Chain A
Amino acid sequence: EAGVAQSPRYKIIEKRQSVAFWCNPISGHATLYWYQQILGQGPKLLIQFQNNGVVDDSQLPKDRFSAERLKGVDSTLKIQPAKLEDSAVYLCASSLVWQGELFFGSGTQLSVL
Chain B
Amino acid sequence: AQTVTQSQPEMSVQEAETVTLSCTYDTSESDYYLFWYKQPPSRQMILVIRQEAYKQQNATENRFSVNFQKAAKSFSLKISDSQLGDAAMYFCASGYSSASKIIFGSGTRLSIRP
Contact = CB atoms under 8 A, between A and B. Distances in A.
Interface of A: 33, 35, 40-45, 48, 50, 55-56, 89, 91, 93, 98-99, 101-102, 104-107, 109
Given A98-B95, A99-B33, A91 B102 contact: no
Nearest to A97: B100
Interface of A (DSSP majority class): strand
B103 interface: yes
Contacts of A42: 4, 6, 91, 104-107
Nearest to B50: A101
Interface residues on chain B, size class: 20 to 34
Nearest to A95: B102
A106 B101 contact: no
A106 B91 CA distance: 16
B44 interface: yes
B55 interface: no
B105 to A, nearest CB: 5
Given A42-B105, A42-B107, A106-B42, A101 B100 contact: no
Contact of A41 (B45, B103, B106): B106
Contact of A55 (B6, B43, B44, B101): B101
17 contacts: A33-B101, A40-B107, A42-B4, A42-B6, A42-B106, A42-B107, A44-B104, A45-B102, A50-B100, A56-B100, A56-B101, A98-B95, A98-B101, A99-B95, A99-B97, A101-B47, A109-B43
